[in-house]
Amino acid sequence: MRASKFIPLAIRSVLYRAAVVVLILGWSENSFGQKVVQPVLGHRSVEILKVGKLEFKDLNKNHQLDKYEDWRLPVDERVNDLISKMTIEEKVGFMVISTTRMAGDQSFQAGAAKTEITSGFNEEDLIQTTNMFTRKPLPSPNMTAAGTTKGVLTYNLRHFILRANTNAKTIAEWSNNLQALSESSRLGIPSIVASNPRNHVTIDNSIGLSVGTTTFSKWPGELGLAAMRDFKLVREFAEIAAQEWSAVGLRKGYMYMADLATEPRWQRVEGTFGEDANLAANMIREIVLGFQGQKLGPHSVALTTKHFPGGGPQVDGQDSHFDWGKNQHYPGGMFAYHLIPFKAAIEAGTSAIMPYYSRPTGPQFEEVGYSYNKAIIADTLRSKLGFKGIINSDTGPIDMMPWGVETLTIPERYQKAINAGVDIFSGNADPTVLLETVKKGMVSEQRINESMARLLKEKFLLGLFENPYVDPDAAAKIVGNAEFQKKADLAMRKSIVLLRNDAKLLPLAKGTKVYFETCYDNGRTKTPVTVFKPETNLWNLEFVSTKDEADVILMWLIPNGGGLFSSAGTPIELGLSKNRIDVAHVNEIKNSKPTIVVINYTNPWVIDEIDNGNLKTVLATFGTTQDALLDVLSGKFNPSGKMPFTTPVSMKAVLENKADVPGYLEPAGYALFKFGDGLSYK
């Protein structure tokens, strides 16, 4: 992989020794006369079978080499052999993916990002009985997460989502324990562990969106990556992140979002690459190729691109996690425009695609959620776009977000979704009802086998059947290492956008006295305003404690609407005062001294409350650090970022916006800052 140049020398030596082991073990030829190299076999309890100089794992413990255990054979042949050996219970268990837990895991509680989690298995089932999105009782049975041992050995689960946020060595040790447990099962089928993004500075790190600040290398938010307009660095980001993820045993990403931010109120804009389909397509292409490589292999992280066919054009910006936000529409007739980034993902080889919860409205669509929508999945995604990979439902469309099919029974919902094309269901740890659906003949075993073939092929290509284990000590050295973070720090700086420099305050002159205030209110803190006083001053500036001492005031505004899961169905406002910014305070300060206003955008905020003709110096950030910002303001780094979306001039303009149309195509007078805006010093 191209990213190997980023690996520190100490880590390269570990990989080199592994390669030497492969060569020492020898090579042979397969049935086509091609040379085959002995892979490293990771195992804990199964025996090793020897064929000449070559070794194989006896995964089903029958003391003979089965086709699915023979790494020399074509993947499709191995897949078909394993399917023939699996019971219907094992197949159905393979078709659900649930949240898995660690002992002491606090990832579902406030402050989870700061909680250390010990390694081990949680034997208790997490039973959820109420739909948090509709406040109604859930059908029974319903488990959104299962104790790991019970999930693997009783329910035959092999797909898991890890939400826990802890150190690299702990995750790696936990992953090894999970794989050892899976290896002990009847057929020894390894597990695969997925995660939401772990490498970004983000405001809304809610469960299911982003893990937030972690020990992994820290990069700008997704909007910030798009603002860089540096596709080479985007590829490098993905290659670096893939090394970190693989090192701890995370081999599948529930990411990235190919959705377009065409509705400025949508509560998931932060996770997109902006409003422009071609920019998003270029971003998705580089990210898929960076994480997966040109094809899936032992060093890849398989991606699940989401949310087909694009979750951006939500009615009134409400999100379809919730009953009040279930409808999606295309008032501008731009359905095809939203498919462009998904086409790029497919061309790049994305392993899986996730449909969204939303149900489309209008006579051209069946008004059912996309996981149930045959015209969307089978006809558009499969037939028209030619996608041959895994179709992975979002979390909970069967029990929690069954939009448009509420009157169907749970088995009927499974039936409709599978017939539409879904291969694996996220958000349920108990496959009992799905099994009953199959046993009743509502879904044929042949159709189940089609999904099994796709799901198993991914695991074989990733090399999990040969070696699913990782080195915890190496993981601790790889994850978040200094060489990786150096690249991420560059991205932090390249993501910052200079929008106005009318007063020519920037770059700040040497010795300027700066009062630097950060305004951020998360709804819990008693000090929403903090004053920055660096321990080490790297910028030839003088940082003062009061505005009266300052030559220049720097205000970094970080609006916060409370996050996706604080939604209550009320109208969504984009004004600063509606998103926890003290507008009166900002206006008082900026009217007193020359002021630099920096706004962190997670949505296209409306800033007319502070922009009344005297806001001369404005920058945009999309998840970055204070050091990166000061490097730009001081002139140590020349700003180069470009806006990934258009920001509307007023809430009136927002309300007149067509939800599926990018801002730069809206009528004249819509935009305050346009898509692509961005200045430099020279």
Strand partners, 77: none
- Same domain for 595 and 667? yes
Q: What DSSP state is assigned to residue 438?
A: H
The yes-or-no verdict on residue 682 having pLDDT over 90 is no
- Chain segment 327-336, per-residue pLDDT in tens: 999 999 999 9
Rg of the chain's alpha carbons, rounded to an integer? Answer: 26
- Chain segment 598-625, per-residue pLDDT in tens: 999 999 999 999 998 789 999 999 999 9
Consecutive H or E run containing 280: helix 277-292
CATH, residue 437: 3.20.20.300
Q: How many CB atoms lie within 10 A of CB 198?
A: 26
- Same domain for 236 and 287? yes
- Same domain for 353 and 389? yes
- Same domain for 162 and 81? yes
- Reduce the DSSP state of residue 27 to 3 states and report it: strand
d(CA 558, CA 622): 10
Closest CA to 257 of 564, 490, 677: 564
- Same domain for 230 and 134? yes
Q: What is the pLDDT of residue 34?
A: 63
- Same domain for 197 and 329? yes
- Same domain for 463 and 499? no
113, 106 Cβ separation under 8 angstroms = no
- Chain segment 431-465, per-residue pLDDT in tens: 999 999 999 999 999 999 999 999 999 999 999 99
- Same domain for 532 and 460? no
- Reduce the DSSP state of residue 155 to 3 states and report it: coil
d(CA 87, CA 435): 11
Strand 513-519 to 529-531 pairing = antiparallel
The yes-or-no verdict on residue 556 having pLDDT over 60 is yes
**Beta strands in 601-669, from DSSP E residues, in sequence order:** 617-621, 647-648
Q: Is residue 25 part of a domain?
A: no
Q: How many residues does the structure list for the chain?
A: 682
604, 653 Cβ separation under 8 angstroms = no
Cα 363 from chain centre: 32
- Chain segment 358-378, per-residue pLDDT in tens: 999 988 889 999 999 999 999
Provide the annotated active-site residues. 394
Q: Is residue 56 part of a domain?
A: no
- Chain segment 84-101, per-residue pLDDT in tens: 999 999 999 999 998 876
- Same domain for 238 and 273? yes
Count CA atoms within 13 Å of residue 478 on its CB side: 29
Supply the range of the domain harboring residue 94.
Answer: 75-109+122-478
Task: Record the pTM.
Answer: 0.91
- Same domain for 552 and 457? no
Total structural domains in the chain? 2
Give me the torsion for CA of 339, 344, 350, 352, rounded to 10°.
Answer: 0
Q: Is residue 62 part of a domain?
A: no
- Chain segment 105-132, per-residue pLDDT in tens: 444 333 333 322 222 223 233 233 334 3
Give me the torsion for CA of 377, 379, 383, 389, rounded to 10°.
Answer: 10
